[in-house]
Amino acid sequence: MAAKLLHIVDGDSTAGSLRLAGLARSGTILSWRDALYEGPVPSRLTLRQLSRLRSRYWTGKSATAFDRRDETLSRFPEYDEVVLWFGGTSLCQLSLVQLLEWFSDRQSNAVKLSLVSAYGGWLKPEQLLPALGARQPVTLAQKRLARRVWKACCAPSPMPLARLLRADLRPLPEIRQTVLSLLHEYPECFSGLSRLERKLLRSVESHGVATAASIVGTTLHSELIGDTLLFGMLRGFLNAPHPLIRVVELFRGKLDSRDFYASRIGITELGREILAGTKDHVALNGIDRWIGGVHLQGHHVRWRWDERAGAIVAFPMRRKAGSE
């Protein structure tokens, strides 16, 4: 009798590929849809509590969007093996450590836990069976490291994440880049922009005038993240008290809808000054953003990314002259 498998995958794209490959015939495919690099991920919450919080964050009102997902996960003892399909992207790695941390407290010895270290969404259906065959059992060292990484991601300070860069991360070799990506999203010391914000604003500057969709599309060529985050950043630049970008042509659509994608935008003079580091975006416009368990809020935030030092630094509460 064939083993009954629970495949937990990084999203709908991989889930669809697994179904095309026929893997649903031997078990269940569960899509773990939550971009944990965006929005609140505070510490000391159960999976149910966090799922309710994340559901309200994504939907704006409903607390039940992840209930069916979590119910399927809770039935894992009904399966012979749980197969985790998570590659090297930040989205995949954050979901992986969340799940490994959860399983480390609950896994029954009767259920095998294994890992496919490949991004299934990139694989053709005929490549998925060999990838499944190459899966490896999850080790105790991987579970222990995942617990530490997850705790650091949810901490109210970025310092536990920063300390991970000096730790032995070999059990989960792709987690280092994910940790760096999260730290790079703290406001940079001079401009007040995160790494992604700087990249997005530079793209606006280099294009001159272009649609919001073109700017985001260009950025996605080299960034494995969701477009929702990038469009949100562009809207933030536009709606700020001191805008970094402007709508160049008459636009009759709604900026908070998909109509915004077609709007033609360009950089403002302030946007150029902020890119040059002579003005500070946070000091001028404030910030309200979660990075894991850290809530950055207001016109002065304690933690910044120092590009020259390549490290998180505690920032003085008073800015230099000329930044307001």
Evaluate if residue 317 carries a pLDDT over 60: no
CATH topology (fold) of 184-314 = Arc Repressor Mutant, subunit A (1.10.10)
Predicted pLDDT of residue 125: 80
Predicted pLDDT of residue 107: 66
Instruction: Give CA–CA dist 188/305, Å, rounded.
Output: 5
What residue ranges of the chain are covered by domains with CATH 3.40.50? 5-182
Predicted pLDDT of residue 320: 44
What residue ranges of the chain are covered by domains with CATH 1.10.10? 184-314
Report residue 289: phi and psi, to 5°.
Answer: -145, 140
Q: What is the dihedral of CA 12, 14, 20, 25, to 10 degrees?
A: -90
Instruction: Give CA–CA dist 317/311, Å, rounded.
Output: 18
Decide if 119 contacts 87 (C-beta within 8 A): yes
Name the pTM for this structure.
0.92
Long-range contacts for 263-266 (Cβ within 8 Å, ≥24 apart)? 263/211, 263/212, 264/209, 264/210, 264/211, 265/204, 265/209, 265/210, 265/211, 265/212, 265/215, 265/234, 265/238, 266/204, 266/208, 266/209
**Arithmetic mean of pLDDT, 145-152:** 98
Rg (CA), the chain: 21
Q: What is the CATH number of domain 5-182?
A: 3.40.50
Evaluate if residue 323 carries a pLDDT over 70: no
Render pLDDT for 119-148 as a digit per residue (tens, 0 to 9). Answer: 777 788 888 989 999 999 999 999 999 999
- The tokens describing 69, both together, are 């997902």
- DSSP E strands in the chain: the ranges are 5-9, 27-31, 39-40, 81-85, 112-116, 136-137, 210-211, 245-247, 264-267, 287-292, 294-298, 303-306, 311-314
Render pLDDT for 172-214 as a digit per residue (tens, 0 to 9). Answer: 999 999 999 999 999 999 999 999 999 999 999 999 999 999 9
